[in-house]
C-alpha cells in the first residue's frame, strides 16, 4: 500500500496528472461556454402561440415519445420550408415548458410542429390505424396496437401541435364539421348540393381548364392512387379502407353525375375542392402536395372514369396553353370517349 501511496504522490505532480486535470478544466470551460452561458443568457419566455398542454394531450405526447415518432417527424419549421406549417417559422418560445424537446433530426415523414387542425380527428384515427388508409404511399408503421384510448390521446396531441394557432385551425374544423355532418345526414344528393354550395360561384360554372386527354387521365390515375384511393376507393365509390373510420364518409364520385352545374360543369368544383379540401371533414387540402396541372389531371381522371362526363369541350373565353388549343391539333390518335348522351341530372 505504501508503494501505491508513493506512486500516487509522484503522480500528483506528474505530466499525467496535468493531462487528466488540465483536460477536465478545458472540458468544464467548454461546457460553460457552449451550454451554461447560452442557457443563462437566452430569453425563456413563451411565444405568442404557446399555451399549456391539456392532460389528454400530454398523455398523447408521452405515447409519441414512447413510440419514437420523433425519429421520423421533426417539430420545427425552417425559413426554407414549403410544406405543412410553413406559415409559421419556429421560435424558441414555442417550446416553452416542453420536457424533453422533440425537435427531431429527420424528416422521413412531414414536420408536425403545426399539425394541429390540419387534419380532422377521424382522418387521424384512420391514419393511426393504418397510415396507408389515408396516405397510400406512407412508410409510417401502423399504430392499431396502441388501442383506442392511446390513439385518442395521440390524436389530441396531434391537434394541439401549434398551440394557439392550432386551436384556431381546430375551431375552423369544428365549425364546418357541424355543417358537413348535417348535410351528410340529409342524404347523398343533399350532401352534394351542400358541398357545391360551399364552392365560390366563379368556380362552379367552370369547365376543366386542361383537356381530358388519355395522357392527362393516365397521369391523373397515378395521382389518384398516390393520394385519393385510401378514402374514395379504387372505383371511386367512397368505400376505400379508410371510409369506415370517417364521418362524414367520403363522397361517391358516381353521384356527381346527377349534380352537374348547368348540366355541364364539374371541373372547377373538383379542382377547388381538391385544392382547398373540405375543412371539417377528412378531406384534406392538396395544394401543397400537388401543382395545378396535377390537380387538373386527377379531376380529369375522376370525370372520365367515375363521373362518366367530361366538360372540357365547352367553349370558354380564355386563351388556352399553347399545347392545349385547337391549333395544336389532336394530342392523341384515339378520341376521348364521348360523354353519354342521356343526362341524368335531376
Partner 1 sequence: MLRDPLFVPKHTKGRPMPEGRFWEKEYSSARVWLAGGAVWMAIGTLAGLGSAIHLVAPDFFANIPWLEFGRIRQVHVNTVLFGFVVQMLIGCALYIMPRVLATKLFSEPLANLAALFFNAGVVLGDIGLMAGYTQGREYAEYIFPADVLLVIALVMVAVNMVMTLVRRNEQLLYVSSWYFAGAIVWTVFMYPLGNVMWHPATGAETGITDAIFLWFYGHNVFGLLVTPLAVGIAYYMFPRIAGAPLYSQALSIIGFWSLLLFYTHIGAHHLIQAPIPTWLKTVSIIDSFAMMLPVATVLVNQWYTARGRFGRFLTNPSAKLMLVGTIWYAIVCIQGPLQSLAVVQRVTHFNNWVVGHAHIAVLGFTGFIALGGMYYVLPYVTGRRVYSEKLINIQYWLILLGLLDFFIVLTIAGLIQGQDWLNGATVYRTVPQMKPYMTLRLAGGLMIITGAFVGVYNVLMTFRKGEPINP
Q: Choose, by CB under 8 A, the member of 141, 188, 241, 308 that binds partner 1.
A: 141
Residues 40-99 that bind partner 1 (CB under 8 A): 41-42, 44, 65-72, 74, 76, 78, 80-84, 90-92, 94-99
| DSSP H or E segment with residue 295 | helix 292-302
* DSSP assigned state of 265: B
Q: Choose, by CB under 8 A, the member of 2, 13, 39, 202 that binds partner 1.
A: 39
Residue written as grid cell 420523433: 70
Residues 94-123 that bind partner 1 (CB under 8 A): 94-103, 105-111
Cis previous bond, 153, omega within 30: no
Q: Which of 216, 177, 194 is nearest to 295 (CA)?
A: 216
Nearer residue to partner 1 within complex by CB, 127 or 169: 127
Residues 224-243 that bind partner 1 (CB under 8 A): 226
Q: Choose, by CB under 8 A, the member of 53, 289, 293, 314 that binds partner 1.
A: 289
CB of 288 to partner 1, least distance (A): 5
Contact 120, 281 (CB under 8 A): yes
Q: Choose, by CB under 8 A, the member of 1, 2, 15, 317 that binds partner 1.
A: 15
Residues 161-220 that bind partner 1 (CB under 8 A): none
CA angle 310, 313, 319 (to 5 degrees): 125
Q: Is 142 in the site for partner 1 (CB under 8 A)?
A: yes
CA 316 to chain centre: 34
Nearer residue to partner 1 within complex by CB, 262 or 291: 291
Nearer residue to partner 1 within complex by CB, 192 or 228: 228
Residue written as grid cell 393504418: 130
Nearer residue to partner 1 within complex by CB, 85 or 268: 85
DSSP 230-294: HHH-TTSSS-STTGGG-SSPPP-GGGGGGG-BTTTB-HHHHHHHHHH--BTBS----TTTS-HHH
Nearer residue to partner 1 within complex by CB, 65 or 218: 65
CB of 136 to partner 1, least distance (A): 9
* DSSP assigned state of 303: I
303 grid coordinates: 370525370
Only one of the segments 128-136, 200-208, 301-309, 315-323 lies at the binding site for partner 1 (rule: CB under 8 A); that segment is: 128-136
CB of 130 to partner 1, least distance (A): 8
DSSP 158-191: HHHTTHHHHHHHHHHHHHHHHHHHHHHHH-HHHH
Q: Is 23 in the site for partner 1 (CB under 8 A)?
A: yes
Q: Is 149 in the site for partner 1 (CB under 8 A)?
A: no
Q: Choose, by CB under 8 A, the member of 7, 54, 186, 313 that binds partner 1.
A: 7
Amino acid at each position: 500500500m505504501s508503494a501505491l501511496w508513493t506512486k500516487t504522490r509522484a503522480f500528483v505532480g506528474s505530466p499525467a496528472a496535468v493531462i487528466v486535470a488540465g483536460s477536465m478544466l478545458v472540458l468544464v470551460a467548454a461546457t460553460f461556454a457552449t451550454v451554461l452561458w447560452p442557457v443563462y443568457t437566452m430569453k425563456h419566455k413563451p411565444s405568442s402561440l404557446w399555451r399549456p398542454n391539456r392532460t389528454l394531450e400530454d398523455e398523447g405526447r408521452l405515447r409519441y415519445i414512447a413510440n419514437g415518432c420523433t425519429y421520423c417527424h421533426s417539430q420545427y419549421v425552417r425559413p426554407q420550408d414549403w410544406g405543412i406549417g410553413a406559415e409559421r417559422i419556429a421560435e424558441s418560445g414555442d417550446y416553452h415548458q416542453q420536457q424533453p424537446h422533440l425537435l427531431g433530426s429527420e424528416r422521413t415523414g412531414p414536420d408536425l410542429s403545426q399539425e394541429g387542425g390540419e387534419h380532422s380527428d377521424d382522418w387521424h384515427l384512420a391514419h393511426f390505424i393504418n397510415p396507408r388508409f389515408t396516405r397510400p404511399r406512407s412508410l409510417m408503421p401502423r399504430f392499431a396496437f396502441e388501442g383506442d384510448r392511446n390513439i385518442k390521446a395521440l390524436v389530441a396531441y396531434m391537434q394541439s401541435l401549434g398551440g394557439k394557432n392550432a386551436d384556431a385551425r381546430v375551431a375552423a374544423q369544428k365549425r364546418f364539421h357541424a355543417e358537413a355532418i348535417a348535410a351528410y345526414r340529409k342524404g347523398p344528393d343533399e350532401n352534394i348540393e351542400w358541398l357545391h354550395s360551399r364552392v365560390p360561384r366563379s368556380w362552379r360554372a367552370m369547365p376543366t381548364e386542361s383537356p381530358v386527354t388519355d395522357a392527362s387521365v393516365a397521369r391523373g390515375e397515378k395521382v389518384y392512387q398516390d393520394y385519393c384511393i385510401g378514402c374514395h376507393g379504387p372505383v371511386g365509390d367512397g368505400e376505400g379502407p379508410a371510409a369506415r373510420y370517417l364521418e362524414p364518409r367520403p363522397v361517391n364520385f358516381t353521384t356527381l353525375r346527377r349534380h352537374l352545374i348547368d348540366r355541364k360543369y364539374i371541373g372547377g368544383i373538383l379542382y377547388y375542392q381538391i385544392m382547398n379540401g373540405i375543412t371539417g371533414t377528412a378531406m384534406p387540402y392538396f395544394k401543397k402536395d400537388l401543382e395545378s396541372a396535377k390537380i387538373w389531371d386527377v379531376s380529369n381522371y375522376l370525370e372520365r372514369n367515375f363521373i362518366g362526363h367530361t366538360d372540357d369541350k365547352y367553349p370558354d373565353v380564355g386563351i388556352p396553353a399553347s399545347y392545349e388549343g385547337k391549333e395544336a391539333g389532336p394530342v392523341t390518335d384515339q378520341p376521348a370517349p364521348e360523354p353519354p348522351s342521356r343526362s341524368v341530372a335531376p
